[in-house]
Structure 1
């Protein structure tokens, strides 16, 4: 037995695929999962999401010339000073 997963975004295509499967005598199962039914992030996932979002916002501001980011040399120097 082989299982195929098909993602369909519109009702017309969904009906056509179901009709073909039924005409061939094949069984199928539906899993209609909306994006809104996703599980919420746990604390560590939310923290990571927030850090990444902040990082991308800083990169965007840097690309727009609104802020200057530290170079890797500046960051390494700062880390060495703390040790």
Structure 2
């Protein structure tokens, strides 16, 4: 609900049941890191911002499990740089 995604977007994010649980866990952790770094209110906008790459974070997350894992790794890295005392 916090991400304000549609049913179609949700289906693209979590896919079928075999990958659904892992996808959800990754997305929850990404959400936790991003809420800390950019705030609750900014997440829906951040997810849809195409920025310089032309691909929004939401679109990137829907491209596959490897991409979700890469986004999580990037979020962890960014958080550790901003708050090294927490890692």
TM-score (norm 1): 0.27
**Higher alpha-carbon Rg:** 1
The structure whose residues are more often helix, as a share, is: 2
Higher relative contact order (CA 8 A, sep 6+): 2
TM-score (norm 2): 0.27
